[in-house]
Structure 1
Amino acid sequence: MFPIRARADERPARSRRRSGRRSPLATVALVTIGLLLTGGAYTLFTASSGANAAIDLSSPQAIAQGKKLFQANCATCHGLALQGTVAGPSLIGVGAASVDFQVGTGRMPMARDAPQAEARQPVFTDTQTKQLAAYVASVAAGPGLPPSKYLTLTGDATRGAELFRINCAMCHNVAGAGGALTEGKYAPNLQDTTPAHIYEAMLTGPQNMPVFNDDNITPQDKQDIITALKTQAQNEDVGGFTLGDLGPVAEGLFLWIFGLGAIIAFTVWLTARAN
C-alpha cells in the first residue's frame, strides 16, 4: 500500500515539473528581443557618428586631431610637411575636397601598388576623414568641401544628363557604369557613388580625370549632373537584359558570342546531316 501511495504522490510532482519547463518559443522570443536591442543600439550609434561628422574644419581641435592621424598614417608616403616623397605626391594645396574624396572612398591609404587606387571600404570614419581634411586644408588653401545645398537631388536631370554626355560619358559610359582606360586604368562606376564624392571628383580631378572647376562646370551644373546620375540609377529597366548597361559594346559582344555560336552550331548540324 505504501509504495503505491508514493508513486501516486510522485505523479503530480512530475506533472508540476513538466508544466514548469520553459516553452521553446521563449528562446526564440529572447533571441528576437536581443537582436532588436542590438540593432537599435547600433542605429543610435551610427546616427550619432553621422551627426558628429559635421565638424568645423577650421576648429583647432579638428586640425590637431587630423595632424595626429596624418602623422601616424599618411606621413610615410606624403611627408611630415605634406611635401611628398618618392612614394606619394605632395598634398600642399589639394584642399579638403581631395582628402575627403580619396580617404572617404577608401582609395587612401592605398591598399596595394597598382595603376590607380581602387575604391574600397574606408579605413577611417567620416569624422576622422573630416579631421584629416581639416589638417591638410590648414596647411595650404585648396578646394573646400561641397556646399550641402548642391548635393540634393533637386537639380535639372535632363540638363544634367546632357552635360554628363558631353563631358563625362566618353570615360564613364552614358549610364555612368564606368569603362576601361589605357595602361590598366579605368573610369569607375558612378551608380553607387555618393553625391558628395561625385561633386568632389569633378572639383579635384582624381586619377586620370580632368578638373572641372566652378568656371567650366558651375556648382549648379554639378548638381544637375548628380541629379541625372542618381535619377537614372533609381529608374528600373523597362524590360529585357541590361547586359551591364555597357552600351553597344555589350550588345555587340552578345551577338558575337551567341549569334556566331548559333551559326557555327547550325553549320555543324548541316554537315553531320549530309554525312
Structure 2
Amino acid sequence: MATPASPSPRKTRATGRRSPLASVSLLVIGLLATGGAYAAFTTSATAETQSQTTSLVADGQKLFAANCASCHGLNAQGSGVAPSLVGVGAASVDFQVGTGRMPAAASGPQAEQKPVQFTDSQIAALASYVASLGPGPAIPASDYLQGNGDVASGAELFRINCAMCHNVAGAGGALTEGKYAPSLSGVSAKHIYEAMVTGPQNMPVFNDLNITPADKANIISYLKYLDKHPSPGGLDLGNLGPVSEGLFVWIFALGSVVAITVWLTAKSN
C-alpha cells in the first residue's frame, strides 16, 4: 500500500510592503541628520560671529584707551571733565565720533563738528566697545534711512518737535549760553536718526515712545526733501525766518526809501 505524499510547504509570496517601523525609522534618521547638520552649522556661524564681535570690542577698547580714556576714564566711567559712557549705546558713539565732534578739541559750551578723526572701521570698533559696557540705543537699521517716507507727515512732526530750535527749514539757530542748534542741511540720515534717539548736547531724547521709528523715518524724509528742493523763491536769507527777513526790510528796503527821499528833497532845494 502506497504511502500518501506529504503536502509541500507553502511558499510565502512577497507582498512588496515595508514594515511601518521602517518608514518611521527613516523619518527619524532624516530628521536627526538634518537637525545635526543645522546645529553644527549654526554653532559654527555663531562661534565665528562671537569671535568677530570679541575681536571688534578688543580693538575698540584699545582705541578708547589711546584716544578717549584721558577724559572719560579707563573704564568709560566718566570723570570731572567728561560724562560716563556706560549705557549710552553704539548710536551715541557713532554720532559723536562719526561727525567729528569727538574727540573734542577743547572744552566749551558744546562740541563743534569738525573733520572726522577715525576711519569707519575704527568708529565701528569704538561703538562696539562702548555698547558692550551696557545696553543703549543701537545704530539704526537701514530701513529707516532711505528718505522715502511720508514727507508731509514728517514736516508736521518736525514743526512740532524740532523747528523751535532748528528752524522750520532745518537751518539751525542760536540757543542760550553760547550754545546753538546746528543746521541739518546735508547731514546724513543715519546721524539724524542717531541724534533723535541719543539727544546730543542740548537736544532732548526722542525714544520710540515719543516718536516711533516710522515717524523718525518721515522726519528724515522731510529733511532730505529740503536738501533736494531748495527754496524756489530766490534769495532765502539763510532760511532764518521772519527776524532776518524783517531786518532786511528795515535796513535795505526802508533805508533805500529814506535815502531816495532825502536825495529828492536835496535836489529840489
Which amino acid is 2:113 matched to?
A
The Cα of 1:58 is off from its aligned counterpart by: 7.3
Q: For 1:122-271, what aligned pairs fall within 5 Å after superposition?
A: 122-271=116-265
Partner of 1:50: none
Distance in 2 (alpha carbons) for counterparts of 1:173 and 1:58: 43
Shift of 1:233: 1.3
Q: TM-score, normalised by structure 1?
A: 0.77
- The code of the aligned residue for 1:132 comes to L
In the alignment, is the contact (CA less than 8 A) between 1:95 and 1:144 conserved in 2? yes
Separation in 2 of the partners of 1:160 and 1:78?
36
CA 1:256–1:58: 2 relative to 1, 3 Å = farther
2:86 partner letter: I
| CA shift for structure 1 position 153 | 1.3
Of structures 1 and 2, the larger Rg is shown by 2
Note if contact 1:83-1:89 (Cα within 8 Å) is conserved in structure 2.
yes
Q: Gapped runs of 5+ residues in structure 1?
A: 1-54
Alpha-carbon distance in structure 2 between the residues aligned to 1:271 and 1:142 = 71
**Whole-Å separation in 1 of the counterparts to 2:173 and 2:246:** 16
Which residue identity lines up with residue 227 of structure 2 in the other structure? A
The residue identity in structure 1 corresponding to 2:262 is V
State whether residues 57 and 130 of structure 1, in contact with CA within 8 Å, keep that contact through their aligned partners in structure 2. no
Moved more, 197-206 or 252-261: 252-261
Deviation of 1:243 (Å): 1.1
1:56 to partner: Cα distance: 8.8
2:81 — aligned with what?
87
CA contact (8 A) 1:177 1:189 kept: yes
- The offset of 1:97, in angstroms, is 0.5
Matched residues in 2 for 1:94 and 1:233: separation? 30
Partner of 1:63 in structure 2? 57
Query: Equivalent of 1:109, from 103, 108, 117?
Result: 103
Q: Distance in 1 between matches of 2:50 and 2:96?
A: 19
CA distance in 2, matches of 1:84, 1:236: 43
AA paired with 2:125?
Q
What's the offset of the Cα at 1:63?
0.2
Residue by residue over 1:11-53, the C-alpha shift from the partner in whole angstroms, topping out at 9 and shown as x without a partner, is xxxxxxxxxxxxxxxxxxxxxxxxxxxxxxxxxxxxxxxxxxx
Aligned residue pairs, count? 221
- The equivalent residue for 2:43 is none
CA RMSD in angstroms, aligned pairs only: 1.8
Indicate the residue corresponding to 1:75 in structure 2.
69
Give the Å deviation of 1:230. Answer: 0.2
